[in-house]
């Protein structure tokens, strides 16, 4: 194993300019912390608390995600069912984010879940469990980026139909729009520097103000349902055996609105004071997004008719566009409201590309994927994993070709993204629960110089930690919630699905996992040892 002698020098020679001195100290402290986890600092720390909070909030995009998947909870659950499903998802998401925050504080690396699995798993299983967790995260994030690009392209086509009812939206045109969105995201990511962090800070403002730009016209102009219609109306549109089963199937759309919480984690090596800032950003984002999402779902339930946007909602492919039109009775007004949602979707692609490529780069750095020598390279001039970025865009570009042949198959990519990411959450949540029950994790000490939180090294809590019985209970609830989400994410939306309406994501996830295990047996077990210790303190 190759190691690098990389000592941290915390002395500051310049006494002038307290701001520069403070930044220098913070960078060296961050690098020293990363070295304690065995990793060589190679990325530039451009993100601060505000920019990474904007990054986390816009990728989570809860109220925007609810608009994009509005039909699911209503078809299976109804108005009341959708509201209670959202609250269930919000509480579950809070527990899940608490676990992710604790782990990110322990080991703030770009690898995230596979690194955590390796450091928490028993010695005999750490290599295999880490590899499987890493592949679930790779599948989930690559699918999530492709799925967001698909939803963005489809949404732009829907807005075009809203503005011109003579427009004939063809699948190949949607694919070209997807490619255009991917090129924009690629350009912003390759420019590097402070551009993306500054953009994310601006997007945080757009994310919050855009919410009010939509709900205010809806509340003021739309006809309102009664509170009984909103809170006491339930529906079993999928024809399931019980209303409860229908509710659980519809609930997965709310889980999708909270998906991608680990995005900020994969940017850890580019964030100043990551062990504290990343957990704070995660918990603040679940508070902000949960509140905005709850407000949006209440407004939509009070302002929509039983036809869910009517014919226009069906033609555009998004019910919220029809609801906007019914409320405002104005094409320009509806398009302006749609433009807010589309802008955030387009810009979230930039953050998604950054997170997905960093996760792929980190897993390649530890030799977990074929061709790891290529994808693990860092540009010496831009300090970016350019090959990993290009590969992520290429995968999304190829997956978007599915849209030409099958719109339904492309929608299964969304379910595949949810399943892959949540499976990686489940793995690390179980392992953390196992370790905390055993009492294997010691208190945090920033003054020690030992390697920590890597396979075979001492486990140490980070600065962010929920101690005692409360932390254990939250961890246990997160496991239960994630298991429910994963199980029902594989269900079709109707009891008797056809070939076209069947949810094939279970086949895609299962097949991909099978191929990953075959690769592990044939090749990866000889080269993948878990997170490589690159530095010697």
Query: What's the rounded mean pLDDT across residues 330-337?
Result: 93
What pLDDT does residue 263 have?
Answer: 92
Check pLDDT > 90 for residue 121. yes
What pLDDT does residue 16 have?
Answer: 40
Using the structure block, give the residue that is written with the tokens 């000592």.
7
E strands, 347-442, where?
A: none
What pLDDT does residue 312 have?
Answer: 77
What pLDDT does residue 14 have?
Answer: 36
Q: Range with the lowest mean pLDDT among 2-6, 76-80, 281-285?
A: 2-6
14-30 confidence digits (pLDDT tens):
334 445 566 667 777 77
* Contacts with 364 (C-beta within 8 Å, 6 or more apart), sequence order: 371, 372, 374, 375, 376, 388
In a domain, 12, yes or no: no
What pLDDT does residue 489 have?
Answer: 85
pLDDT band at 192 (very low <50, low <70, confident <90, very high): confident
The enclosing domain of 181 has a CATH number of 1.20.1740.10
The first and second tokens of residue 294, run together, are: 């709850």
What pLDDT does residue 254 have?
Answer: 79
| Residues 424, 368: Cα–Cα separation, whole Å | 15
pLDDT band at 449 (very low <50, low <70, confident <90, very high): low
In a domain, 21, yes or no: no
Higher pLDDT, 454 or 281: 281
Query: What's the rounded mean pLDDT across residues 327-337?
Result: 92
Query: What's the rounded mean pLDDT across residues 328-350?
Result: 93
177 lies in which domain range? 42-526
In a domain, 32, yes or no: no
Higher pLDDT, 69 or 237: 237
Check pLDDT > 90 for residue 395. yes
* Percent of the residues in the chain that have a pLDDT greater than 70, as a whole number: 91
Contact 262, 112 (CB under 8 A): yes
Query: What's the rounded mean pLDDT across residues 89-107?
Result: 94
What average pLDDT is seen over the chain?
86
Q: Range with the lowest mean pLDDT among 108-112, 202-206, 218-222, 503-507?
A: 503-507
In a domain, 352, yes or no: yes
Check pLDDT > 60 for residue 528. yes
Check pLDDT > 60 for residue 8. no
Task: Report CA-CA distances (Å) from 225 to 222, 230, 269, 293, 308.
Answer: 10, 7, 48, 19, 13
Question: What is the number of structural domains in the chain?
Answer: 1
In a domain, 131, yes or no: yes
158-182 confidence digits (pLDDT tens):
999 999 888 888 889 989 999 999 9
Q: Range with the lowest mean pLDDT among 240-244, 496-500, 513-517?
A: 496-500
| DSSP, residue by residue, 43-99 | S---B-HHHHHHHHHHHH-HHHHHHHTTHHHHHBTHHHHHHHHHHHHHHHHHHHHHH
- Beta-bridge partners for 442: 460
CA-wise closest residue to 309 among 297, 326, 296, 331: 326
428-448 confidence digits (pLDDT tens):
999 999 999 999 998 866 556
């Amino acid at each position: 194993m190759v190691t690098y002698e990389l000592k941290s020098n915390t002395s500051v020679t310049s006494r002038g300019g307290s701001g520069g001195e403070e930044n220098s100290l913070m960078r060296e402290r961050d690098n020293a912390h990363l070295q304690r986890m065995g990793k060589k600092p190679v990325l530039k720390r451009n993100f601060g608390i505000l920019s990474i909070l904007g990054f986390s909030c816009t990728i989570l995009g809860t109220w925007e995600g609810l608009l994009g998947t509005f039909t699911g909870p209503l078809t299976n659950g109804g108005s009341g069912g959708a509201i209670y499903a959202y609250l269930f998802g919000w509480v579950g998401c809070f527990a899940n984010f608490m676990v992710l925050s604790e782990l990110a504080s322990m080991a703030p690396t770009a690898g995230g879940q596979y690194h955590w699995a390796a450091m928490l798993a028993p010695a005999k299983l750490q290599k295999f469990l880490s590899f499987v967790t890493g592949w679930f995260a790779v599948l989930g994030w690559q699918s999530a980026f492709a799925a967001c690009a698909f939803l963005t392209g489809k949404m732009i086509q829907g807005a075009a139909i809203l503005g011109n009812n003579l427009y004939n939206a063809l699948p190949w045109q949607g694919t070209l729009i997807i490619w255009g969105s991917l090129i924009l995201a690629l350009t912003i990511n390759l420019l590097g520097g402070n551009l993306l962090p500054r953009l994310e800070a601006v997007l945080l403002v757009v994310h919050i103000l855009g919410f009010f730009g939509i709900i205010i016209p809806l509340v003021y102009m739309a006809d309102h349902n009664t509170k009984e219609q909103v809170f006491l109306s339930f529906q079993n549109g999928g024809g399931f055996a019980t209303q409860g089963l229908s509710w659980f199937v519809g609930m997965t759309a709310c889980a999708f609105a909270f998906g991608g919480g680990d995005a900020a984690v994969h940017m850890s090596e580019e964030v100043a004071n990551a062990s504290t800032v990343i957990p704070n950003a995660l918990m603040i984002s679940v508070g902000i997004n949960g509140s905005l999402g709850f407000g949006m779902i209440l407004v939509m339930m009070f302002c929509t008719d039983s036809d869910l946007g009517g014919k226009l909602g069906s033609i555009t492919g998004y019910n919220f566009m029809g609801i906007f039109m019914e409320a405002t009775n104005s094409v320009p007004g509806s398009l302006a409201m749609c433009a807010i949602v589309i802008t955030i979707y387009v810009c979230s692609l930039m953050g998604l590309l950054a997170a997905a490529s960093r996760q792929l780069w980190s897993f390649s750095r530890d030799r977990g994927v074929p061709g790891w020598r290529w994808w693990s390279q860092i540009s010496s001039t831009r300090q970016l994993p350019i090959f990993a970025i290009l590969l992520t865009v290429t995968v999304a570009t190829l997956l978007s070709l599915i849209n030409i042949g099958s719109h339904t198959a492309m929608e299964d990519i969304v379910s595949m993204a949810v399943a892959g990411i949540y499976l990686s959450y489940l793995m690390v949540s179980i392992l953390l629960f196992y370790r905390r029950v055993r009492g294997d994790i010691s208190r945090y000490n920033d003054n020690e110089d030992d390697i920590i939180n890597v396979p075979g090294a001492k486990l140490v809590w980070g600065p962010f930690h929920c101690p005692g019985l409360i932390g254990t209970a939250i961890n246990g609830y997160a496991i239960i919630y994630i298991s429910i989400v994963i199980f029902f994410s594989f269900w079709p939306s109707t009891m008797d699905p056809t070939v076209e309406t069947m949810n094939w994501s279970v086949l895609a996830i299962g097949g991909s996992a099978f191929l990953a295990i075959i690769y592990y047996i044939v090749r990866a077990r000889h080269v993948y040892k878990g997170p490589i210790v690159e530095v010697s303190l």
